[in-house]
Chains A and B, each alone.
Chain A
Amino acid sequence: MGEMAIAFNVDNCIFCRACQVACHVWNNTRPQVTEFSPTLTNPPDLLPNVWMVMEAKEVVEGDEFHWLFLKRQCMHCSEAPCAKACPVNAIEIHPEGAVVIREDKCTGCRFCIEACPYDVPKYDESSEKVYKCTFCIDRIQNGLEPACVAACPTDALVFGDYDELVNRYRSQGFEVYGDSVNDYVGRTHYIYVTRKFKGKLTDPKYFGERLKKDPRKASVQVGTNVVEPVGWGLIGLTLLAAAGHFIYWRAKRIEEKSESEGEKGGE
């Protein structure tokens, strides 16, 4: 499996929110006790236990009325500013494009939250860790589509090879958001496509509040695990973590070996 993308086709969504529920069911995240939402979007923002939210918005322009639906979750950026900001390498970028927080490694420092221009990662007080969408890494690594895609009844969500998807939509006359956003995020592995709302994906009146033209966090200047603003103490931590990682990696290798053997046996 090479570099993958999940495409959200704005035109096909009927806001049934199967994706939002499927995300909870697969990841076993606690449903949120919410309040009345005047737009139906609920919860109104992402939460440590709600990794994706379907948003609804009414737009009136002259005689035209539109009811817009947009899926919101981690964009899985190729340049993943969150991963770069993470001082303990807890955020891994997978070859498929998934940007995944390692729950076992996260120290809850929240630098990733600062770095994310899409306001995605959310900090959980009780576990003192940060959570977000994983691109369903534990499904795609095992040959299944992400849970939200698998659920979507109208194929508004499609999972596939990155370039193939982008090319296919472009050739069918779709506008595509994500394949080259800016230098800060690179390309996003969640892409958004439309024919119906061409030219309006990044228009703030339509989808632009979320699908930012130039997403960046100017105030945060984190490079690749830059330690300057954090101080020397963290370097020690990082080294420790690296050592830990090595041990983990060794252990993991053994595990993997036996696992793939097991698979053979299973076939």
Chain B
Amino acid sequence: MQSPRISRRTFLKMAGLGTFSLLFSGSIRKVLGVPKPKRYRLGEIGGKDLQLTREVRGVCGYCSVGCGIIFYRAGDKVIHLEGDPDNPLNEGKLCSKGEASLELFGQHNPRRLRTPLIRVNPKPPAEELKKVKTQDELRAILDKYKPIWRPATWDEAFRYIAERMREILDEVGWDPRKEDGYYHLGKKFPLWIEAGAKLTNEEAYIIKKIATMLGSYNIDHDARRCHSTTVAGLAGTVGFGAQTQSFIDTQFISTYLIFGGNPAENHPVSMRHTLKGKERGTLKLVVVDPRYNRTASQADVFAFFRPGSDLAFLLYILHYAFWERNPPVDQLDTFKEFVTRFNVDLEEIKEFKEITKDYTAEEVSRITGIPVDKLRKIAELYVENSGVTTNFKRFGSIQWAMGQTQHHVGTQITRLSTLVQLTLGNMGFPGGGLNPYRGHSNVQGTTDMCILSHILPGYIKQPSNPLQIRVYQDWKNQGFPDAWHWEIPDWAGSSFGPNERGKVNSTKVLWSWWFQNWRRFELTWGIFVGTDPESDPKNGTVISDFPFGKGYTENTWWQGVLFDDVLKAAIIMAENIAVSDGDAITTYIALASLKLLVVVDLWEAETATFADVLLPGAFQYEKYGSITNSNRWVQWQDRVVPPAGDAKPDLWIMLKLWDYFKSYGIVRLPSQIYGKREEKVSIKNPNTGEMVELYERKIEPFMDYATGRFADPDYAYADPELIYKEIDLAVDLYNGMYDWVDGKILAKRRKPLLRTESDIDGILDREFLMYKDWAWTWPKNVRILYDLWTLSKTLGRTFQFTFTPGEYSVGDTLNGKTVSITGETGEIRDAKSGKWRPAFIPGHNFVVGKMYKRLWSGMTDLLTGAVTAKDLLWYGKVVGKFVIFSGESHTVTTYEDLGIKCPLCESFYYDEDVINVGKANYKKPYFKGTKDYKGKKIKYVGFYDWKKVRDKFSEEFRSLAKSLGIREAVKSMKEKYGEWYAYPNPSNSGEILAWDMRYPIHYEPVESPDFELATKYPAMAWRRAENYRFLEPPKGFEHLKDTVTMIPEDMSPPEGAEVVVVTTNRMTEHFHTGQLTRNVPLLAELVPEPFAEIPKPLADKLGIKPGDIVEVGNKRNVIYVRAMVTHRVPKLSVNGKEVYVINLPWHWGWAGAHSTYAVVNTITDVYMDVVTTMQETKAFLAYVRKAPIEKYDYRAKEENLPGIRP
């Protein structure tokens, strides 16, 4: 199954051999009298002297594959790079972007920022920007207010920022003193922080820590706009929001459905592994996409489909499986066995099956534009090569990226993909799964560290009210128990799960998981969350250094500025939202309205146009830190060279900002204002209620990383390895990535070898090329998520492990037992023995990462306690006290006495009980319960009830839309029934039934090309208040209402134009907002200018020739780009109507090289996902027509190009 690997060392030896034989053959030629051709030094032609270089290893900073790069440094100059041949992810290979990364370094790139800058001229005024309707008008304003900067020192810049922040805080009266306790409301903090997915894990963790300690949840990042719907859809259905397979594992897939992604262009090196399967003839590649893209060029089956019809396509696959196939999949024993393993309720499947019935091939063909026979062919190929139809020998897998996510129902689409995989048994095996490929090099990591407005690092709930803090304090007093040992007090009510000790359900297990993580944050951050006094959780004063609630998101923040008047300042690090925000002109208005905008970037990018302060940051290669790739491998980046000039890594900037904020009185922690300096950590004797004090913990906010261990001064002040260790202790998801026994950073592990069969997960490692000793993967070094059965089902084997009695810190269910392992367990350092042991027993079910038992429940604090965070982190010092109760008495002992070798390893264990808790959610209602409206009761209902009124709802909507127009029809119905997607119950006049969205059904995009479809499957957007504001905008923003063009008839296109469906895309040669590629001449050579892909028949119809300028516009803006006339975008037949699709790559903006004011996102929309607020940028309407060349404002501006010849 595997080929022998040439290690780098062997490779170099071979190099020596080659040289020898060459000399030999050369001498023969000499004897023969032929002039001997020249012998060259390595690198001679390019003038590179590679003899004197030092190798530095790193991870590619563009996409999320995680390719290893070796940089060759001569002195302080980086002169060459090659792919790292040892790294199993790329095996020495790189794509065009990775190869070109050399030009990102300041030495090669004159455009990199080198010094802090403060603006001296006025910013573009919001009132002027509000009037912009065309690219020309935008250019006129931005040219007029082009920033003028003066260079500043870092100290000056930090003072400037802190002074203004202090003023703003005082203006809003920022204070944690509330009537019912001491806490902040996280959505009220006036500073908006955006911190990009290019940051390292350590930086991401620190920025979220800083925001939280400032009292703010107004922090978010790119992940909101790229995969927030993936995380919500997946986590809400099967537990984790991540890719379940690895890139390497894609070669074992039988049918790979590329639906909503384009890996050949956006993750080129991932195709290396996928194509291995194709080459072996075991993998069929199926691409369904609005474009015939580079991935499609490799497809066995390809189908064009209409952007925004994703749900219908996926529903048809299940229609085929449930209704066309004989026997239907739900009658297969393998199906029953599989869903049982996920603890799925069979009633749910019945209801869901009913939904798929209506999505026949004919109906879905009308919606998607895919011909009926092709639909059937794809569904058959996919279903017949799935786990449940092949007795778990072959698997289908679904790959996606923004194609599925960027819709106002993105969560429904990714959830449906998950349901397809659940139904077909395609998850939790090598070769099968869910593969949402991430975009940025570390967007998985920055998401895991939760630079997000709604969760704490590791996907931990943020508290929302004082009651939760009281229950938490009570939980602490019970000795930090797991769910099985926790007794929820009666006064807590029912929302935490069953009260009784020993009785658990998934709610209770989750709460105890959240509480354990809250405790980890308390210990490592030096903060306090609880009551004073600690012994009276029910009546004591609530003090919470965690703010309450959820903040604005990256798609709603502008409403926080413009509509709600909450956000008055912003710090934007490593993001360029002026190019990447949907409906970007609205973003410009919001940016221009801020009192203070600080931008930290590598370049003077588009967003800096609106900034007051511009700070020079560093790129990934100029940093130390860990990076998590898309398949969750945490790898280490070493600094290749420091950034040029006075630029600094973001970590340094963040920690400096914290210092300045602190000295300017901006940090106002509730515990400090209350005067809580110490926490009494006690455990209640369950038999007597007596509180036994364990130790006193000092409350001292911890942000001191100046260990001086690094030679570089910036990292001497901000030690990333210390933060790495803190993450291991603070964030359960990443626990295990530091080896506390050997003191090793496992992200630095670079062993490109497979394990032996007797090692933990050794059989799987060998059979499926997992490379478990390369880097580290969450959770607990598990490479394939949810792998419970591969050993037993696919390979027909098991692995035995014996928990020698008393040796391991595990409970009775494991202690002394020999367990039979059937899947991938991952590994964990045992607290007692300090040895490695399997983590998840008997394999990795989908819940076990989040749910576990704790042997030390009721005996000691987490990590056995820490007097101060600094003691814990700097010196590894724990309290180490245990209390052992026996009846009314107790004894206090220490970890040494108990023979515990590694208290920091904690005593978590996972057994079969854990697997039996929690279930996958076929059904997940996003709206629950009832509410009153004008004397009637709105009741959120499931499909059986909704079906009774569904057709009446859409009939009334259609008839209203015919007379009033579609926009007014939405308003009218919402007004009438108090909710969108609601209709009176015919059998109960006092009741209005509203669809609770428990299963995915098809919804048209907000901007649909067909009236009939738009009214038969109305968009769901209007359920969400932020979207409804487009229909009823606040005063002063009436223009937003006109931008909503729901069907072509709303468009009023100019003469000679055609209304089309538009989709947006990235391409191989460029990256996101283009700053990292337009400023790289090697990549700009390949694709210099902005363009639209236009179907050949449409071009012929409109008289557009290749290279012509085209105008693409709607009521949001009008832009001008080149025409790429091609057969690779389609003319479709949708509901019997001709529909053209055009594609716009969105990499261009007005700043840097290869610039234009034609920012694609000024014509996209920001209708938000009902669950996560994801914007709908993948399907909207615009018109297109030919335009005169004068309208085109592209400039190349290339200067100082590197290269010595010619």
Contacts and interface: CB of A to CB of B under 8 A. Distances in A.
Interface of A: 1-2, 12, 14-18, 20-22, 24-38, 40, 42-43, 48-50, 58, 60, 65-67, 69, 89, 92-96, 100, 102-103, 124, 126-127, 129, 131, 134, 137-144, 150-155, 245, 249, 252, 256, 260, 263, 267
B1082 A25 contact: yes
A153 B1203 contact: no
Given A14-B297, A30-B1202, A38-B1107, A1 B21 contact: yes
A12 B80 CA distance: 27
B1038 interface: no
15 contacts: A12-B275, A14-B264, A16-B268, A21-B1083, A26-B48, A34-B1085, A36-B1122, A38-B1106, A38-B1107, A58-B1127, A67-B294, A95-B22, A138-B45, A143-B15, A143-B19
A12 B297 CA distance: 9
Contacts of B719: none
Contacts of B1206: 29-30, 48-49, 124, 126-127, 129, 131
A147 B96 CA distance: 12
Contacts of B891: none
A159 to B, nearest CB: 11
B75 interface: no
Contacts of A28: 45-48, 1202-1205
A52 to B, nearest CB: 12
B621 to A, nearest CB: 15
A154 B272 contact: yes
A141 B1202 contact: no
Given A92-B38, A153-B93, 5 more contacts: A15-B297, A26-B48, A30-B1203, A95-B22, A95-B25
Given A14-B271, A93-B37, A153-B90, A67 B1198 contact: no
Contacts of B18: 1, 140-143
Most chain B beta carbons < 10 A, residue from A37, A92, A245: A37
A218 B279 CA distance: 41
B46 A60 contact: no
A42 B1086 contact: yes
Contacts of A124: 1206
A137 B19 contact: no
B295 interface: yes
Contact of A95 (B12, B26, B1088): B26
B148 interface: no
Contacts of B1125: 38
Given A25-B80, A28-B1203, A263-B19, A18 B96 contact: yes
A144 B42 contact: yes
A194 to B, nearest CB: 13
B658 to A, nearest CB: 39
Contact of A35 (B21, B279, B1089): B1089
A103 B1089 CA distance: 34
Interface of B: 12, 14-19, 21-23, 25-26, 29, 35-48, 80-83, 90, 92-96, 98-100, 102, 264-265, 268-269, 271-272, 275, 279, 292, 294-298, 1068-1069, 1081-1089, 1091, 1106-1107, 1122, 1124-1128, 1196, 1198, 1201-1206
Contacts of B99: 18, 21-22, 25, 151
Contact of A65 (B46, B1069, B1127): B1127
A151 B1203 contact: no
Contact of A137 (B35, B40, B269, B295): B40
A151 B94 contact: yes
B1086 A138 contact: no
Nearest to A140: B18
Contacts of A141: 18-19, 22, 39-40
Q: Which 9 A-B pairs have the closest CB atoms?
A: A143-B15, A30-B1203, A38-B1106, A28-B46, A138-B40, A143-B18, A92-B37, A16-B268, A36-B1089
A15 B1068 contact: yes
A139 B1088 contact: no
B175 to A, nearest CB: 55
A79 B161 CA distance: 70
A153 B43 contact: no
A260 B16 CA distance: 10
B920 to A, nearest CB: 35
A216 to B, nearest CB: 25
Contacts of B275: 12, 154-155
Contacts, number: 230
B16 A150 contact: no
A251 B1124 CA distance: 55
Contact of A15 (B14, B44, B83, B294): B294
Contact of B29 (A1, A95, A144, A153): A95
A113 B1151 CA distance: 41
Nearest to B264: A14
B16 A143 contact: yes
Nearest to A95: B25
A151 B83 contact: yes
Contacts of B38: 92, 100, 102, 252
Contacts of B36: 249
B271 A154 contact: yes
Given A14-B264, A131-B1206, A142 B1082 contact: no
Contacts of A65: 292, 1127
A2 B1127 contact: no
Most chain B beta carbons < 10 A, residue from A92, A96, A151, A252: A151
A131 to B, nearest CB: 6
Nearest to B19: A143
Given A93-B37, A129-B1206, A31 B271 contact: no
B173 to A, nearest CB: 55
A88 to B, nearest CB: 12
Contacts of A17: 96, 1068-1069, 1086
B364 to A, nearest CB: 22
Most chain A beta carbons < 10 A, residue from B38, B96, B1084, B1206: B1206
A96 B22 CA distance: 9
Contact of B39 (A14, A152, A256): A256
Contacts of A256: 23, 39
Contacts of A2: 21, 25
Contacts of A150: 82-83, 92-93
B1086 A25 contact: no
Contact of B1087 (A42, A67, A152): A42
B879 to A, nearest CB: 51
Contacts of B35: 89, 92, 245, 249
A254 B48 CA distance: 22
Contact of B1091 (A15, A36, A67): A36
A141 B1202 CA distance: 26
A30 B1082 CA distance: 8
B1044 to A, nearest CB: 33
B264 A31 contact: no
A164 B296 CA distance: 31
B95 A153 contact: yes
Contact of B15 (A26, A144, A152): A144
B1085 A43 contact: yes
Nearest to B26: A95
A150 B6 CA distance: 14
Contacts of A66: 297
Nearest to A156: B275
A265 to B, nearest CB: 13
Nearest to B1192: A36
Given A138-B42, A142-B42, A30 B16 contact: no
A231 to B, nearest CB: 24
Contact of A138 (B41, B96, B1106): B41
Contacts of B296: 67
B1085 A33 contact: yes
B98 A18 contact: yes
Contacts of A49: 1203, 1205-1206
B96 A14 contact: no
Contacts of A96: 22
A71 B791 CA distance: 44
